[in-house]
Homo-oligomer: A and B are copies of this chain.
Amino acid sequence: MRRADRLMQLVQFLRDGTLHRASDLAAATQVSLRTIYRDMETLAASGVPIEGERGIGYRVTAAITLPPLNLTMTEMEALHLGLHAVGQSTDAELSAAARALSSKLDAVMPEDRSRAPSGYGFAIYPFADAARGFQHLPSLRQAVRTRQKLELTLQDETRTVRPLQIDYWGRLWTCVVWCERKAGFDEIRVDQITRMRILPSLFVDEKGKSLRDFNALRQGS
């Protein structure tokens, strides 16, 4: 893996922010000039903010490059929430940066239309609404973990459900439940929950009512 090593080395050289001529880089890495040009192309295409000016040399423009990150849904939510908070800050520069970063994140969030309840993408949805349901999340999570039934009220309608799985799409939380009254699965938007009560009764997986069954259904349809 000699090439990858050299690419990393080149980034190290360029990180100091000063100008570098391709010929210098070639000498430093013991490689031909042509290869340096090819490397620069690869790096630029890989997202490293490199700029080459004819008759001048190379320099890196932006400061920090983050490698690919794997986030849990909760971490993603923390990220959005935190940036939203900073976006409200009085420091104009800082709040602008927070909003800019939020946009960047929105732009690269995986979007899966087949799973989202059709009609509302997270971009359309005002953050405030999502935040309203946010208060219920901790106890909802607990109920999913401890497998306790819930009594919850959505739009003046109260029902008893078995909470199975919490999902997060960018800005919206939903919960997959088995509804006792309708005797069927449902996907509930957490922000639409107006009241919620954890019931003392526990539940166990029953044939046709488990998360596995829900996933099977979702696949099949």
Contact = CB atoms under 8 A, between A and B. Distances in A.
Contacts of A92: 138
A66 interface: yes
Interface string A1-28: 1001001100000011110000000000
Contact of A137 (B64, B107, B212): B107
Contacts of A83: 78-79, 82
Contact of A67 (B15, B68, B81, B165): B68
A201 interface: no
Contact of A93 (B79, B108, B122, B138): B138
A199 interface: no
A119 to B, nearest CB: 4
A145 B125 CA distance: 12
Nearest to A205: B118
Of A43, A79, A131, most buried by chain B (CB within 10 Å of CB) is: A79
Contacts of A45: 126, 128-129, 131-132
A202 interface: no
Q: Bin the interface of chain A by size.
A: 35 or more
What is the count of identical protomers in the complex? 2
Given A46-B128, A110-B168, A165-B111, A117 B8 contact: yes
Contact of A47 (B105, B131, B145): B131
A70 B85 contact: no
A48 B165 CA distance: 21
A65 interface: yes
Given A46-B128, A67-B68, A75-B97, A211 B85 contact: no
Given A144-B111, A219-B18, A105 B66 contact: yes
A164 B113 CA distance: 7
Nearest to A105: B66
